[in-house]
Amino acid sequence: MLGSLGVVFGDIGTSPLYAFNIAINSVYDPSVDSASTVYGLVSLILWTITLVVSIKYISFVMRVDNKGEGGVMALVSIIESSKIKRKSLYIGLGIVGVALFYGDSVITPAISLISAVEGVSVVAPSLSNLVVPITLVMVLLLFGVQKYGTANLGKYFGPIMAVWFLIIGIGGLYQMILFPAILNSISPLEGLGFIIANPIVAFLSMGLVVLAITGAEALYADMGHFGRKPISKTWFYMVFPALALCYMGQGALVLRDPMALESPFFLLFPSIIRLPVVILATLATLIASQAVISGAFSITRQAIQLNLLPRMSVIQTSAKTIGQIYLPFVNLLMMLVVIALVILFGSSENLSGAYGIAVSGTLLVDSILFIVTLRYIWNRSKIFVATYTFIFLTLDTILVLANLPKIIDGGWLPILIAILVLIIVISWVKGQSNATKKRLQIELPLQDFIEKIKSDQKKIVRLPGRAIYVGHHSGLTPTAMITAVEELRELHEQVVIVYVNTSSESHIPPDDRAVFDELGYADGISQVTITYGFHDSPNIPKAIASIRNISPEIDFDPNEATYFVSLTRIVVGHERTMPTWQKKLYAIMHRNSLSVSDYYKLPIAKTVELHTLIKI
């Protein structure tokens, strides 16, 4: 539970820094009944958190997992492995959800850090012009330490966030004691009355209320680290009460002192402790940003494993929970985008317009995929599914629609990021499909090729030692092996052909990954099929070593064998398989993707790469 505080709840836990502030300043009008406005807005925030997080995610959605793993990719993998109709449509929708997540993952560090640093202007107004420079320094620090992993810092994340939730809860409670009438906002009737009295204002305010549930999807996405029970207990025992107290406390403060509209969060606390609170808030937002960055690393690796993105360098770190992997390219790209956002928007209020679209869109995608799972995979009753759909799909749709007017105020940003991600994914998938069709025309059935070797063995030199050929398609001969036999006229005495598959499951136990086949019809040639989950890190030598005691043919040190890898060079042709610009984009991505040798952790000094030209 303590560990989950530092990983799962950082994003939603730092939302009070800006959510109520931005929402109340957009709807507050001192010329009308200000009390009903504050009660109504706080009520909408409390009940949105209750419905979306407490009921939708913790009570329902988090019951769906892929061997303990959660998140939109888990829903996609479950649907992908089923036999339901319109499967490709739902998988495509899941990819849209992933694309929106990338938009969320760059906006979160920007808005969280800048909102925390804005506390400096409350403590010392003369320093307000330093908010952006200080934020940029924090951004550089945050992304600069990613390559070192977070093993040493991770153990402190939970305790720091525990102190954070304790402080914001106490701050809110203190203001509630001074103005207990704020307890009226607990009633959903206050929110309903606000909607009836000001339907248009209330509808538009829902586009800002969604800021209070940023990070809700993280509860589901990070479920694999801690499990559903610890996350749900932490939510109900500590996080939810602290958030509720903090939001009601801010409402109470504004009703007591309208001048507090300037910064209702930091003004919760007496002036003597505001500076420590600003420092604590900065630490909390760094932790929240770290969790989102780690999530971007994790989801990118999943996409690579599922062949939705080009291979990239994935570096393992020593962390147990967060920061387990580090992707240098993704880290650099995210840092540049976050820096641009801080400079371009300059304040948390300006960034709020960009934030809601990504969050509400992700929530809607999760709901649709969960409803599909309920009805067509779990076969739940139509009445239950209809009830769930009416309540939660309606709420998520309202949140999305309420955020649409914010497109011109920054909402275009996550949409643009999602479109760019979708273009990259679609171009890569289509390019890989066309390249695979061409490769299949080159590769020969393995059994036929082995028979050809037997009939022509006098013209083939059998070299001493062991060779491992990495193939693309099970049952077909690796092109590197075809080149070695037909062009070089040589083959090692002992040959192992390795095929790597990626399962729709998140993890495959290490002992179950590799399957050996001695190929009874072959002469000194055997086969190993390795299957990884989309959350696993491929390592061919390690997988082969795990089964070396099965047969004398495989009983050798994998690091001493010679590896042969088939590399493909893509050339843009005139076939109308895809637009020329898309072919060029795919060729660029393919050329700059990580080599098979590096991706599968093959020993550099013992690896031979043979190139094949493919025109698409």
**3-state SS of 465-481?**
EEEEEEECCCCECCHHH
Q: What is the pLDDT of residues 56-87, one digit of tens each?
A: 999 999 988 877 777 887 888 888 888 888 88
**What percent of the chain has a predicted confidence (pLDDT) above 90?**
44
Least confident of 10-19, 266-275, 300-309: 300-309
* Alpha carbon distance 24, 253 (integer Å): 12
Q: What pLDDT score was predicted for residue 540?
A: 94
Q: Say how far apart CA 206 and CA 48 lie, in whole Å.
A: 9
Question: Does the structure show a pLDDT above 60 at 194?
Answer: yes
Span of 58-62, 66-70, 136-140, 288-292 with lowest mean pLDDT: 66-70
Choice between 225 and 478, residue whose per-residue pLDDT is larger: 478
Tens of pLDDT, residue by residue over 561-604, are 999 998 888 888 888 889 999 999 999 999 999 888 999 999 98
Per-residue pLDDT band at 251 (split at 50, 70, 90)? very high
Give the tens place of pLDDT for each residue, 320-367.
Answer: 544 467 889 999 999 999 999 999 988 888 888 788 888 899 899 999
**pLDDT in the model for residue 319:** 45
Q: By the 8 A CB rule, do 544 and 528 touch?
A: yes
pTM, to two decimals:
0.84
562-571, strands of its sheet edge to edge: 514-517, 525-532, 490-502, 461-471, 562-571, 607-615
41 compared with 157, residue with greater pLDDT: 41
CA distance 100 to 421: 9
Per cent of the chain over pLDDT 70 is 96
Q: How far apart, in Å, do the first and last CA atoms of the chain sit?
A: 52
Closest CA to 289 of 78, 65, 111, 417: 111
Buried b / exposed e across 245-275, counting CB within 10 Å, b at 16+?
Answer: bbbbbbbbbbbeeeebeebbbbbbbeeeebb
Q: Are 586 and 459 in contact (CB under 8 A)?
A: no
Alpha helices (H) in 28-63, listed in sequence order: 34-49
Q: What pLDDT does residue 151 have?
A: 57
Two tokens, residue 439: 């490769």
* Angle between helix 87-117 and 348-372 (nearest 10): 150
- Give pLDDT tens digits for 438-454: 888 888 888 888 888 88
